[in-house]
Amino acid sequence: KAGVTQTPRYLIKTRGQQVTLSCSPISGHRSVSWYQQTPGQGLQFLFEYFSETQRNKGNFPGRFSGRQFSNSRSEMNVSTLELGDSALYLCASSVSAPQGEQFFGPGTRLTVL
């Protein structure tokens, strides 16, 4: 079974631009979560989608948004990029059962100049 894939793996943008990151979950997984990882901050929860609906949201500004498609693939968008948005963005997928293990992708490394 293929794992969680994220594209692109690396991205360089400048302040003020916007960016879209993509995540393809493991086949059959309906829950997709997004996390931001920065040095010293661990993984910060952004949001979780389940069956195309945002089920949970973390404490991030409205510049961070996401969506999920009917095939469970998910995209995350960050508008008006700031230097502090430079981070590793991780996507994780899970089966539909409540709680349990999340399977993470390799992440997208975003650098904002």
Contacts of 80 (CB under 8 A, 6+ apart): 16, 18, 63
Q: How many residues bind another protein (CB under 8 A)?
A: 28
12-20, 43-51, 60-68, 70-78 -> range binding another protein (CB under 8 A): 43-51
Interactions with another protein, residue window 51-110 (CB under 8 A): 55-56, 58, 90, 92, 94, 98-107
**What would the DSSP string read from start to end of 13-51?**
E-TT--EEEEEEPPTT--EEEEEEEETTTEEEEEEEEET
Which member of 24, 31, 68, 72 binds another protein (CB under 8 A)?
31
107 touches 88 (CB < 8 A):
yes
CA 105 to chain CA centroid, nearest Å? 9
Compute the least distance from the CB of residue 48 to another protein, in Å.
5
| Between 65 and 79, CB nearer to another protein | 65
Q: Which residues bind another protein (CB under 8 A)?
A: 4, 31, 33, 35, 40-45, 48, 50, 55-56, 58, 90, 92, 94, 98-107
